[in-house]
Amino acid sequence: MKAIYPGTFDPLTNGHLDVIKRGLKMFNSLIIGVAVNPAKKPLFSTEERIEMIKESVKDLENVEVKAFDSLLVDFIKKENGSVILRGLRETSDFPAEFQHAIVNRKLDPEIETVFVMTNAEYFYITSGIVKEVAMYNGKLDTFVPKQVESKLKAKYAK
């Protein structure tokens, strides 16, 4: 069974990696779907985000990284997936995630959404917090993979 783990991943965090690794225990293969959303203003381009993710998951088997700029359910059908994998950090994540799951089910009842709770070690990490820490040259090694840390430092050094 193939699952799709969608997100903007701007940037990928250790919490995202935790969800990816745990998803691989449940599914035969996993596609990390990097959302191209013109309404958001990401720090990193789609290509930069894909590159950072690929570098961070290169040692994991059965993982692909692909961009998409469509409805998630359309991307899942195109990739012959059947499950949306989502991570939950804390209770405030649940209402929006639940709403998305219901809308996706209305759009395609054949697609299931599976939620995994983020490991407590990463419960507080968000991409926004990571970018703020990086902007002020804070310590990043507990928040993001090394590859992402170097890209963040380079981005904010400009």
Active site residues: 16, 40, 89, 127
Q: How far apart are CA 20 and CA 85, in angstroms?
A: 9
DSSP code of 144? S
Q: How far apart are CA 149 and CA 130, in angstroms?
A: 9
Q: What is the three-class DSSP state of 96?
A: helix
Q: How far apart are CA 95 and CA 88, in angstroms?
A: 10
DSSP 18-76: HHHHHHHHHSSEEEEEEE--TTS--SS-HHHHHHHHHHHHTTSTTEEEEEE-S-HHHHH
